[in-house]
Structure 1
């Protein structure tokens, strides 16, 4: 009972950020994080607006890109402003419940992103392996339903995880050793046995990461086999595979660093706390800033529409000046 009483003393958490970072680097670090935040915001909003305005891009593949852009935009908005504020304004305090809200969105958006990547792999699987039935099987409505499920399932799961974590008494340190509130960083501050909570959360995380990853690996393996069995020329095969290139790059950027960190921990190789936080920030934030560039420069239809826009603008400007 005393633990419960003690737990009421914590009303705020302190975001530690990058441990050991000298104060002289606070300015450059906050500026770098601000640039990343602006890149995420501008790039992903551009993709959402561009696809929305170009009716010819209202196709399943590009609707999936919009859902991915939305998760990236929301993730950057949820995580970066607070850590920028810490280093720019020396504001490390986040309210007790505010921290849990941030934790909810961090894991909810990560799980949704993972499921939407699975929908993207399914899109390429049907397009390559059943091209004649693609337009009938994979419509915009189909994508909306599948992506809707990808948002709803993690949303419901994270409500349970947050409530389970909230019931813990918090009477130890209130310092979050991370750049944002995540499940592990919060539960280690609990002052009773948290193994049950951690096991439940880990099980859910594995479901939302491993299940989509397993399907993605299987689908792209089948796609490669199907392309290799085509009787057409090598150039046609390469063209078929090239339609999967943006999706493969995006999936690689999301999963590979995470798998590397998990495997490193599994074989007994542990990172120091500062290195681990830097690595987590890199694989959490960088893909959200890079993905819009992949959509624009590695996707044929978007690239061609951008070229047409630029050419039209140049012609109009030259006509005006002439």
Structure 2
């Protein structure tokens, strides 16, 4: 079969079609998308600014929040600018290199984000189960090292994805019914053997994400066991309140991730535009909600952010 839509270098140019079936409503869809994106940038940048400026917030928990904010900004920025260009200007073309780069950063940031949530679970476990040793076990330097380990893990695990995509032939119409280059959507465009690509993609999504969720679940199992040993109900409430923000963020991220992945891979009866909207919400909603959740649930951070907002 003859290759279709090739550039001068012999690489295919993909066409991102936006949200199939809702092309006429792209302008209207862009309004909530752009509002959410702006809110996510403002919220996460505000969080980074406040934590950086306030020395009293230079603690492990807030360092983890900064890492989470950076991954949130990165994930939404990998997708939204291109999606808005499709909605507003009809700029649908993307090169093979551009597509592979987008896939790499989306998956790499997603796995880094997951690793940070695991570290946050460990942070809450130490804070509740070993409060007297918290400052010696979890120092800022140790948290930074754990963040670096999570980043290295993500890079090493995701690096095979672009390498495996590079070997695939694209011999048919390279139109992707999506707003960004999602791995499985690009794999479906190939006319070659994609079994390795599909298997490795599933391994990353289910095995690595499953491992991270198991570690978080283990942390909270130990936390609940420790809390139940406390006789005071007031102490129960205080201990659990320190975990509500992390639990809320974890539930938002996990729910959207599972819905997006499962509907895209196994929901053949679900309309295509539902798949695409869920895939976009998975990358857009958590960056909006995460700083809001921590801003509301964490009194120290809420007070500091309120001080700067009142100065504006």
TM-score scaled by length of structure 2? 0.92
- 5+ residue gaps, structure 2, are none
Tell me the distance in 2 between the aligned counterparts of 1:261 and 1:115: 19
Q: C-alpha distance in 2, partners of 1:228/1:86?
A: 53
Change (3 A) 1:264 1:42: closer
Q: CA deviation at 1:264?
A: 6.7
| Corresponding residue number in structure 2 for 1:320 | none
- The verdict on how the C-alpha distance between 1:197 and 1:215 changes in structure 2, with shifts beyond 3 A counting, is same
Q: CA deviation at 1:270?
A: 4.5
How far apart in 2 are the matches of 1:33 and 1:265?
20
Q: CA deviation at 1:40?
A: 1.4
In 1: Cα distance, 2:51 partner to 2:121 partner:
20
Which residue of the partner structure matches residue 317 of structure 1?
A: none
Within a 5 Å distance, the mapping from 1:1-322 to structure 2 comes to: 11-23=12-24, 25-231=25-231, 233-260=232-259, 270-309=269-308, 313=311
> What displacement does 1:157 show?
2.0
CA distance in 2, matches of 1:106, 1:80: 12
Provide the rounded CA distance (Å) in 2 between the counterparts of 1:16 and 1:6.
Answer: 15
In the aligned structure 2, how far is the partner of 1:91 from the partner of 1:309? Answer: 39
Mark the CA change 1:276 to 1:263 in structure 2 (over 3 Å): closer, same or farther: closer
Q: CA deviation at 1:271?
A: 2.2
- For the residues of structure 1 that align with 2:302 and 2:122, how far apart are their CA atoms? 23
8 Å CA contact 2:118–2:215 kept in 1: the answer is: yes
Question: Does the CA-based 8 Å contact 1:75-1:109 persist in structure 2?
Answer: yes
More moved, 131-140 vs 198-207 = 198-207
Inter-CA distance 305–229: structure 2 relative to 1 (3 Å threshold) = same
For this pair of structures, how many residues does the alignment match?
310
Greater gyration radius = 1
Alignment partner of 2:159: what SS?
Answer: helix
Alpha-carbon deviation of 1:265?
Answer: 8.0
Where structure 1 has 5 or more consecutive residues not aligned to the other structure, the ranges are: 315-322
Q: Secondary structure at the match of 1:106?
A: helix
Q: Conserved in 1, the CA contact under 8 Å of 2:114 and 2:212?
A: yes
State the Cα distance separating 1:78 from its structure 2 match: 0.8
- Shift in Å, 1:272: 2.2
CA 1:77–1:247: 2 relative to 1, 3 Å: same
* Aligned-partner Cα distance in 1 for 2:55–2:273: 46
* Structure-1-length-normalised TM-score: 0.89
Equivalent residues of 2:47, 2:305 under 8 A apart: no
Helix, strand or coil at the partner of 2:14: strand
- Deviating more after overlay: 247-256 vs 9-18: 9-18
Deviations 1:44-65 (A, max 9, x none): 1111111011110000000000
CA distance in 1, matches of 2:255, 2:154: 21
| Counterparts of 1:203 and 1:3, CA distance in 2 | 32
**Is this contact kept in 2: 1:10–1:171, CA < 8 A?**
no
Query: Which range is displaced more, 254-263 or 85-94?
Result: 254-263
Kindly report the root-mean-square deviation, in angstroms, between the aligned alpha carbons of the 2 structures: 2.3
Q: CA deviation at 1:254?
A: 0.4
Q: Secondary structure at the match of 2:20?
A: coil
In 2, are the aligned partners of 1:71 and 1:112 still within 8 Å (CA)? yes
Taking the aligned partners of 2:137 and 2:124, their CA distance within structure 1 comes to: 12
Deviations 1:82-126 (A, max 9, x none): 010111111111122111111111111111101110001010011
